[in-house]
Amino acid sequence: MPETVEIFEMAPRDGLQNEKRLIPTAEKIALVDMLSAAGFRRIEVASFVSPKWVPQMADSAEVLGGIARRPGVRYTALTPNMKGYEAARAARADEVAIFASASEGFSQANLNCSISESLARFEPIMEAARADNLQVRGYVSMVTDCPFDGPTPPGKVAEVAAKLREMGCYEVSLGDTVGRATPESITAMLRAVCDAVPADALAGHYHDTGGRALENIEASLAQGIRVFDAAVGGLGGCPYAPGAAGNVATEAVAARLAALGYETGLDAERLAAAGAFARKIREGADG
């Protein structure tokens, strides 16, 4: 029996959030519906952040309202504060995600507050989600390098990841937001984090700016990580992380995992079709 590795699909959120052209809601919905048919169990489709900060995500409620929800697929949304949480609930997100940084510079740039202030803001979200019986995922950004603060100490990533886990996140996704990590820096970071959080409660979220995301995934597999975030078509980036280019492409991750003997449960043809559609959206072609 081949071992299973899950890919958490990011294209509708992390993939599209940085696009300059305001993409019509119908195109976003069509992309999610194609992804739903490709075999994912989790798809991040929305982000209830300030529309002034990320205009592309302003129609998140309409996207969640318009998709054809497939049984067995969880449709997730980012929520930076209670305003975002309440909007995500109203739009019937299946789970939400809080997002922190391991570097102070990026925390200020992305959330306009310090790391500890961001964690304090997340507390009421955790409390409300517990009452609503909704699962919460956590992100830590800049896990090896930060364009504002330089190299990130692995101990700092472990500290923030452990805090998110203690607060109740069922999984913590570790973001190489700007794609500067190497297999060596990823391994050092994961060794520190795995002392604080079990590997089966962690995920790798590696942007491919430096072209090393697949190598970093292999290094993470060796440390016991079995969930990876990726975006079809290699779309994406974070508007508040200078130089952040695409997420690692789901098609490439699925192919590499298959070559390594892992099962992802994804349909390669449907994945390729969704990837082609995602690239068309990015190029601004009409669907």
Residues involved in catalysis: 238
Give whichever of 36 and 173 is closer to ligand HMG, judged by the CB atom.
173
Is 14 a binder of Mg ion (CB under 5 A)? yes
- From the list Mg ion, ligand HMG, none, which binds 80 (C-beta under 5 to 8 Å, kind-based)? ligand HMG
Count CA atoms within 13 Å of residue 168 on its CB side. Answer: 17
Nearer to ligand HMG, 3 or 123 (CB): 123
Binding partner of residue 65 among ligand HMG, Mg ion, none, CB under 5 to 8 Å per kind?
Answer: none
Cα angle 72, 24, 284 (rounded to 5 degrees) comes to 110
In the complex, the smallest distance separating the C-beta of residue 269 from Mg ion, rounded to whole angstroms, is 26
| Nearest-approach distance from CB 57 to ligand HMG, in angstroms | 7
Three-class DSSP category at 58: coil
Q: Which long-range contacts does 237-240 make (Cβ < 8 Å, 24+ apart)?
A: 237/14, 237/17, 237/18, 237/207, 238/14, 238/17, 238/18, 238/110, 238/141, 238/177, 239/17, 239/18, 239/53, 239/54, 240/53, 240/106, 240/109, 240/110
CB of 132 to ligand HMG, least distance (A): 17
Residue whose C-alpha is closest to residue 3's, from 168, 149, 215, 221 = 221
Question: Closest approach of Cβ 238 to Mg ion, in Å?
Answer: 5
Tokens standing for 91?
A: 């739009």
Nearer to Mg ion, 6 or 14 (CB): 14
Residue 214 or 238 with smaller CB distance to ligand HMG: 238
H or E element in which residue 105 lies: helix 104-111
Binding site for ligand HMG (CB under 6 A): 14, 17, 47-54, 78, 80-81, 83-84, 99, 110-112, 139, 141, 175, 177, 205, 238, 240
**What, of Mg ion, ligand HMG, none, does residue 60 touch, CB below 5 to 8 Å by kind?**
none
**Start-to-end CA span in the chain (Å):** 39
Which does residue 46 touch among Mg ion, ligand HMG, none (CB within 5 to 8 A, set by kind)?
none
Residues in the chain: 287
Nearer to ligand HMG, 4 or 112 (CB): 112
Residue 6 binds Mg ion (CB under 5 A): no
**Count of residues interacting with Mg ion (CB under 5 A):** 1
Please give the Cα distance from 145 to 206 (Å, whole number).
Answer: 12
Q: How far is the CB of 3 from Mg ion (least distance, A)?
A: 25
Point out which residues bind Mg ion (CB under 5 A).
14
